[in-house]
Amino acid sequence: MAVSFFQQVFALLNTNTGSLAYHLVLSFTLMGAFLVALYPVQPAGSHHNRRVVLGLGLLIAYQMILFLAAGLAWQGFLDGVRILPFLDRAVILLSLLTIIWLWAFPERSRSSDTATLLVGLLLLTALFLSGVWFANQGSRISLQDTPLDEMATWLTIGLAAGGILLLAARRPAGWMAGASMLAIWLAGYSLLYLLPPTEGLYHGAVRLAMMAAYPLLFLLPARNWEQTGSAGYTDAASTSEAGVSASPPAQESYEEALLMQSFLSSMLDASPEQACRLVNKTITEYIKADISLLVYPIGDSSGAIDLQCGYDRVQDLPLAGRVIDKQAAPVLVSALRQGRAVRLAAKSTSPDLVGIAQAVGLNTSGGLMFIPVFSTEGKPLCGVIVVSPYSGQNWAVEDQSRLAHIARPLVHFLQLKQQVAVLQKELVETRAAARVAQGKADVAISDYQRLLMSTAWGNTDPSVEALRDELRQALDELALLKETQDLRKGAGLEITIDTPTATGIK
């Protein structure tokens, strides 16, 4: 009974009326998702919907090409029996590749975009060569009578299965919806082999599956709203999501000045480890975040970040550093390399939330906000991550601006503190070496003077030449340390070295 019903549906989708309904459902679905992405309900998603707009635009273009070809075939300008099935398989393959790209790579990535483009070019080349080969066959041969139909079917199945594995490995925001869409697509192709074959130019089971899967594209713009955070623009005097009334600009500037004064006074006597903790503590107090973390990139192509230090404001505990690989935080690693800010809502499905939570030893991270800090050359130097595992706060655009405003001077003060600590350590080592060399020179001069007096009274000692060599070596060491002293005068770190004279040494 059920098999007979499905066969009737598949046969209907192979008729002109069914084909028109199929094209209209897909076209209206794509246009609706395109308009939602182009004019988002929440302003926070507008900046992140460019890739969605581009991908949906490509999908609409594919459907328009197929729709126009069907219209020309209906008017008798094209051989619809031969051309339309070939175009149908080609559009399905290109649409599938575009949909996988949309779901798997929500953030801009040069390597991922280049790889997708190469796969698309290879697919277009294969379609072009297949079309040339099919055009040279007899006019009475349809696509179903050639191996191209079976090859296109298995290629589509392999591409959809690979897309599901890619989504499961990367786990971007909203990846479950994308995987469900591809799974529905695979279910349609599985029906081709589970049910008796039906006559027609098209695969009715595949068309039915696509009509069921395409409405999930409406979740693409919603995925971007979730990734950027659910908070929109608010007035300065309105109440934030955490329930804290925003301060007037004058009061906020006064509080910021007091906070920076306290930070600078504490930074003077702090060690490098305490200075890193102090930076994160100041950030948490300024942003009202639960936890602040300072991360640095590891190499140029390692795909990992170094969590140098952190601070838990709620428990008043410093957080030790550790390395976070790209699989645990793909969005943050990419954002740090490209110098982009990121905000993730507490309910986002991004793997970065899980990776950061595990890095700080918690079950959840809450809302996450990342701000890159640039060097004086304009390159990404490090990044600041704030999370709210205890309050569950989501970060708004204003929070992002405030964090970017304070993060750069704090990090640069930390760098200066670390550089001074390195110079002070080298200064202590140089002074110790100077004292050792000074002692050697004093002993050598004393022994040399004693031997000179002994020689003047007519006594000879075979060790005079050895002492002369030792004295010269000690004086050479002092001369080298004096050159080091001259180089450090520019940094304000001067070493006082009394160089003994070498008078009378021959």
- Taking residues 433-459, what's their average pLDDT? 63
Are the C-beta atoms of 104 and 170 separated by less than 8 Å? yes
Q: Residue type at 273?
A: E
Domain for residue 316, yes or no?
yes
Long-range contacts of 27-30 (CB under 8 A, 24+ apart): 27/60, 27/63, 27/64, 27/67, 29/214, 29/215, 29/217, 29/218, 30/56, 30/59, 30/60, 30/63, 30/214, 30/217
Domain for residue 350, yes or no?
yes
The H-or-E segment that residue 386 falls in is strand 380-387
Query: Are 212 and 71 contained in the same domain?
Result: yes
- State the pLDDT at residue 155: 93
Query: Are 258 and 214 contained in the same domain?
Result: no
Q: If you average pLDDT over each of 96-100, 426-430, 463-467, 480-484, which comes out highest? A: 96-100
Query: Are 375 and 262 contained in the same domain?
Result: yes
- Taking residues 176-204, what's their average pLDDT? 85
Query: Are 277 and 341 contained in the same domain?
Result: yes
Query: Are 478 and 353 contained in the same domain?
Result: no
Query: Are 163 and 299 contained in the same domain?
Result: no
pTM above 0.75, yes or no: no
- Other Cβ atoms less than 10 A from the Cβ of 138: the count is 6
Domain for residue 415, yes or no?
no
User: Where residue 354 sits, what CATH number does that domain have?
Assistant: 3.30.450.40
Are the C-beta atoms of 6 and 191 separated by less than 8 Å? yes
Q: Which of 111-115, 392-396, 495-499 has the lowest mean pLDDT?
A: 495-499
Of the pLDDT bands very low, low, confident and very high (cuts 50, 70, 90), residue 62 is very high
- Taking residues 93-108, what's their average pLDDT? 90
- Going by C-beta distance under 8 Å and a sequence separation of 6 or more, which residues neighbour residue 465? none
The 3-state DSSP class for residue 494 equals coil
Q: If you average pLDDT over each of 84-98, 382-396, 432-446, which comes out highest? A: 84-98
Domain for residue 235, yes or no?
no
- State the pLDDT at residue 381: 80
Domain for residue 232, yes or no?
no
Q: 384 φ, ψ to 5°?
A: -115, 130
- Taking CA atoms, 432 is separated from 439, 477, 481, in Å, by 11, 13, 11
Instruction: Using the predicted structure, report yes or no on whether residue 456 has a pLDDT greater than 70.
Output: no
Q: How confident is the model over 24-43, as pLDDT tens digits?
A: 899 899 998 888 888 765 44
Query: Are 173 and 275 contained in the same domain?
Result: no
Burial annotation 86-123 (CB, 10 A radius, 16+ → b, else e): bbbbbbbbbbbbbbbbbbbbbbebeebeeebeeebeeb
Query: Are 66 and 119 contained in the same domain?
Result: yes
Query: Are 153 and 200 contained in the same domain?
Result: yes
Domain of 453 in residue numbering reads as 421-491
Domain for residue 156, yes or no?
yes
Q: How confident is the model over 405-432, as pLDDT tens digits?
A: 778 777 766 666 655 556 556 666 666 7
Instruction: Using the predicted structure, report yes or no on whether residue 92 has a pLDDT greater than 90.
Output: yes
Query: Are 116 and 7 contained in the same domain?
Result: yes
Last residue of a domain, one of 162, 195, 227: 227
DSSP state, residue 395: P
What does the block give as tokens for 178?
């994308």
The angle subtended at Cα 347 by Cα 342 and Cα 351, nearest 5°, is 60
Mean pLDDT, the chain, rounded, equals 76
Nearest CA to 389 among 292, 271, 487? 292
- Taking residues 245-254, what's their average pLDDT? 46
What does the block give as tokens for 225?
């709203």
Query: Are 266 and 168 contained in the same domain?
Result: no
Domain for residue 245, yes or no?
no
CA atoms of 103 and 151, how far apart (whole Å): 25
Of the pLDDT bands very low, low, confident and very high (cuts 50, 70, 90), residue 251 is very low
- State the pLDDT at residue 46: 46
Are the C-beta atoms of 160 and 187 separated by less than 8 Å? no
Are the C-beta atoms of 485 and 497 separated by less than 8 Å? yes
- Taking residues 152-162, what's their average pLDDT? 93
Q: Which of 53-62, 204-213, 480-489 has the lowest mean pLDDT?
A: 480-489
Concatenate the DSSP letters of all residues of 133-149 into one string.
HHHTS-TT--GGGSHHH
Q: How confident is the model over 209-242, as pLDDT tens digits?
A: 999 999 999 888 777 554 444 333 333 333 333 3
Domain for residue 402, yes or no?
no
What does the block give as tokens for 160?
């959809």
Number of independent structural domains in the chain: 3
Quick one: how far is CA 237 from the chain centroid? 34
Quick one: how far is CA 391 from the chain centroid? 25
Instruction: Using the predicted structure, report yes or no on whether residue 490 has a pLDDT greater than 50.
Output: yes
- Taking residues 454-478, what's their average pLDDT? 61
Are the C-beta atoms of 323 and 296 separated by less than 8 Å? no
- State the pLDDT at residue 400: 86
Query: Are 178 and 85 contained in the same domain?
Result: yes
The 3-state DSSP class for residue 174 equals coil
